[in-house]
Amino acid sequence: MDDNQIQKRAIKVRMLFFGPLVEKMGSREIEVPLNEGTTLLELAEKFHLSKLIGSGLRIAIDGEITEKLDQPLADAAEIAFLPPVSGG
């Protein structure tokens, strides 16, 4: 069997949103089915969040802040999107 014949497994991740992202996304938490091998950047692009990464959006995978956008996501991973904190 060559690579073209191997089907990718389906995985499911849980996305968590905080601050103004809750309103933007319409929910605090959603579960998303993905193909195995989907990267963090691909997930962010799918939900139109990649533009926010350059303006202070931080992302945590299973409670750990990461900047590795090319990292493939694991099944049952929890991805939290954390907007920049403002204050005074």
pLDDT recorded at residue 6: 55
- CATH, range 10-82: 3.10.20.30
Stronger pLDDT, 84 or 58, i.e. the higher one: 58
**pLDDT for position 1:** 46
The rounded distance, in Å, linking the Cα atoms of 5 and 84 is 43
* Mean pLDDT calculated for residue range 57-69: 94
3-state secondary structure the chain: CCCCCCCCCEEEEEEEECCHHHHHHCCCEEEEEEECCCEHHHHHHHCCCHHHHCCCCEEEECCEEECCCCCECCCCCEEEEECCCCCC
Q: How confident is the model at residue 3 (pLDDT cuts 50, 70, 90)?
A: low
| Mean pLDDT over the full length of the chain | 89
User: Which one has a higher pLDDT value, 26 or 85?
Assistant: 26
Q: What's the mean pLDDT in 58-74?
A: 94
Cα atoms in the 13 Å half-sphere on the side-chain side of 22: 4
- pLDDT the model gives residue 5: 45
Indicate the domain borders of the chain: 10-82
Single pTM value for the model: 0.84
